[in-house]
């Protein structure tokens, strides 16, 4: 059970180049997310997919596109990389579980190891 996996681990691009970051989860989760982490900014949501076949913008979607290929895989594409996209990118997945008599939801997110991207 690998959890959430991301490829590549490291990448250096030149301005204007394109690339796709890959993410896969083997926990049968419906929801998947892409975040970026920058010093002093915390993690910010780029895009998310609440279920297979759906995607929605997060806080910082400009310059990115996503594809929910199937239930397991959620990719993030940079069409024309810019230095401002230098960051660490994390993929995450979760499954909301209804539990307890009060009907409370448990929705723990599980994160991948990250991709460190540098755009020159």
Partner 1 sequence: KQEVTQIPAALSVPEGENLVLNCSFTDSAIYNLQWFRQDPGKGLTSLLLIQSSQREQTSGRLNASLDKSSGRSTLYIAASQPGDSATYLCAVGPDNQGGKLIFGQGTELSVKP
Lookup: tokens for 97: 């579980």
Min separation Cβ 18 and partner 1, Å: 25
Q: Which residues bind partner 1 (CB under 8 A)?
A: 4, 31, 33, 35, 40-45, 48, 50, 56, 58-59, 90, 92, 94, 96, 102, 104-114
The values of phi and psi at residue 83, to 5°, are -55, -30
Min separation Cβ 14 and partner 1, Å: 24
User: How far is Cα 88 from Cα 117, in angstroms, rounded to an integer?
Assistant: 6
Min separation Cβ 52 and partner 1, Å: 13
> Of 14 and 103, which has the nearer Cβ to partner 1?
103
> Of 44 and 72, which has the nearer Cβ to partner 1?
44
Q: What are the helix (H) ranges across the chain?
A: none
Query: Is the Cβ–Cβ distance between 86 and 78 less than 8 Å?
Result: no
Min separation Cβ 80 and partner 1, Å: 26
> Of 29 and 85, which has the nearer Cβ to partner 1?
29
CA-nearest of 4, 115, 24 to 70 is 24
**Other C-beta atoms within 10 Å of 43: how many?**
15
């Amino acid at each position: 059970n690998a959890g959430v996996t991301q490829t590549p681990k490291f990448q250096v691009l030149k301005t204007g180049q394109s690339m796709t970051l890959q993410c896969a989860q083997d926990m049968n989760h419906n929801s998947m997310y892409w975040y970026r982490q920058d010093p002093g900014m915390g993690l910010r949501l780029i895009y998310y997919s609440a279920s297979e076949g759906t995607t929605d913008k997060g806080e910082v979607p400009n310059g990115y596109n996503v594809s929910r290929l199937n239930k397991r895989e959620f990719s993030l594409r940079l069409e024309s990389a810019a230095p401002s996209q230098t960051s660490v990118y994390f993929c995450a997945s979760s499954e909301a579980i209804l539990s307890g008599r009060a009907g409370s939801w448990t929705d723990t997110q599980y994160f991948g190891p990250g991709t460190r991207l540098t755009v020159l």
